Structure 1
Amino acid sequence: MSSAASYPTNTETAQHGWRVLAILSALMGFASISTDLYLPAMPAMGRALGADAGHVELTVSGYLVGFSLGQLFWGPLSDRFGRRLPVAVGLVLFAIGSAGCAMAGSAWALVGWRVLQAVGACAGVVLARAMVRDLYEGHRAAQMLSTLMTVMAVAPLLGPIVGGQILALAGWRAIFWTLVGVGMATLAALLTLPETLPPERRNHEPLGHALLRYGTLIRHRRLLGYAGAGGFFYGGMFAYIAGTPFAYVTYHHVPPELYGLLFGAGIVGIMATNTFNARLVRRLGSDRLLLCGTGLAALSGLVLAVTAWTGWGGLWGLAVPLFLFASATGFIVANSIAGALSGFPERAGAVSALVGSVHYGSGIVSSALVGAFANGTPWPMGWVIALTGIGSLLCAWLLVPANRSTGRSP
């Protein structure tokens, strides 16, 4: 059978519409659901495993280690062997890691299984972005990424709420068994998704050479700017993820089952700004919207640092600037990823992996800092988020010297 008969064209694949959109959204959502579902259970997990807050927060850092490093391998593999097979292998690893988390007997065992879970989960995330680049170009790619993230935002919106209910009904281990089921269901759905990278468009160089080419990619100033803007921002978001369970539940005594409502408010903001971004990107340009988003992140981060230090406003003094910071996601993530991918269509998998590795690698540092400096107050989370917001703005402003009226990439 010829490749033309076996592999649909971009137009044919794009016409699958909502089914493709749903599966890609599910794949991209693994980064969120793998952590968001168990956030309300973190204090309970610490009590059950005899671990303090700092050790439990390392389950986020350990996850990010696997997620960041794993992407560097999945990207070149997908450029050579296509997208579907690596995703399928990743989903199997995700299910095995989730089962290990459910049976873990100590905090360190849980951290180890979280690493394996993350290595599997990141395959779906990085390759879903590459599939979008296989199918769309330019501002259309940014629009589709915004649409995907709007749809996938349902996962982190519902994740803490559902996780809180599972915790109340069946305990924290049942949360990870639920993730095993999610992984298997997504694997079944993947089998209905057409391959988006036909053999004639694949990169057949040895994988060792492909890995070494990451050094060449990071020499591109523009790519470094996009990756840095998104990376610093992701660092702030993972400080938010690692810090808010204890800032809200322990420090401000919010019931675990209501934590999801506060967390979900930020997700609603993300969905709104992603929707605005998809509508505005053609008219204003992705680079201009990226700059606006990083400016919002820096400003809200500074306000958060002040309120976390002084205690001004109590719970709402934290919740409001955190909402604004999280809402900047819609203007930063899609535009930074689309900008990075636009210059390297023939290496979309590797570029997506590199950008994703920078994004989640920064999360390793930020979540570890929140855990290392944990002192029972929201202050460590506040200053880490402020610094990452400023870093994101500087990368967008100094390293992406774009025509901000059109947002075009070379």
Structure 2
Amino acid sequence: MRKYRRIKREKGSSHQGYQVSLTAHGLFSLLTIVTCYLYLKVATLNLLNFLRNPLLFLTIFFVISAVICFVVFVILFGRRERITTLAIPKMSNHSKNISRKIYRLFNDKQISDVLKLSNSTRHGDEFPTIYIWVSEDCNSGYIAIENIATFDIIDRDKYEQKISGLLGGKFSRFAVVSSELTSNDSYMLFNFEDTLTSFKILVDKSDSELKSFTSQNAHVIKLSNDLFWHSDITPHMSLIARTRAGKSVLAGRYMAKLMQIQGWIVDYNSAKYDLYVKQYRGKSDPLEIVERAEHWVAVMQKRLNEIIEAGKDKYLELPDMVDIGLFFDELGHLNAALELDKTLKKRWEVAINKLTATGGSAGIHVIAISQFATKEGFLPSLARVNCSDAVIMLGGAADSADERKYLMPGFADLPKRSYQTGQGIARIITSGKKWESPHFYETPWFN
């Protein structure tokens, strides 16, 4: 990979020092050849002997000058402006092939005229260094563009979509989904992924029991073919979606059932009585939901005592202590009902704050579900923060910047998109680098 800055000369640009010395070296070398030839002719033909000494002197002078110019060229050539290199992970041969093809898309015309990333200097246009990395499965990667004092351009709104526009034709399946600076601010990484290939789970009638979607690790819940929730690391989850956006099917029909198959204890409560409350024998009355939350606080405390008595640090070290999935659906309705009873509301806030703050250590996992992620329609502030490391937003909620800023800090300004039923964005910080930032997500589809 290139070590020095690439500068393309333009009409009227001045030469760099190493270019001047190289030109002088070439000129003196040519003059050396000419004077040497003339000296040999004079000496051979024995004519114009008075020119022999001047020609010899000139030849020696030109040789010395050529040598000096070459030495100066080597020194100046080695002192050119060096670039900051970027260490990228190793790639397979197939990934390298795709990487080279994408790299060819970023030619001088695209970099200078379209992206406006070249800097005009007295020596010509200087171009940034570009690295392309493609993952092993060839479904994602990043484009690293050197920051040569062009961050004000690279960081503009919708610049990610501008980079995506270059990935047309054969690579139209790729789109830039996020961008970030490297730790030393030398490169801007534009993360791209395959946005046309669907990774959603397709559940046929033969798979209605979901046994084919279970994980060997009981603490891991498969949410799609490329997204897994590691509940032992990120204990709680938030699910935000409007009515008929697919949240109840994801939570009640898929997640809760899959948890039961994997040996979890499931408790499904909703402020609106529905099929899943009935199926899992949950509660729908606000008072009963609060009492149920307080019951699980007592269970949590009992479990923590058992862990301490056993001399262990985590519930994972006790094989008989299974995971517990607590679903609290329609939190907006619950909050509205609790407004009529301030004492009951306080009890709810204390219980849910305790469950989300300490429940993970005892194997208790809160799945908080609501139509809105606002302060009034979701969890209290402390509980909301504890549930913000694993977030799924579907439908209109995924396209709401005001709601994303509550659960996905730093990602409020995402491009505006239209999501169909069962589509949205997800961010689970312990599910791999890809999911550390919001990405397109599709819920399981039941045929």
Structure of higher CA gyration radius: 2
TM over 0.5: no
TM-score, structure 2 normalization:
0.21
Flag the structure with higher strand content: 2
Higher relative contact order (CA 8 A, sep 6+): 1
TM-score, structure 1 normalization:
0.22
Flag the structure with higher helix content: 1
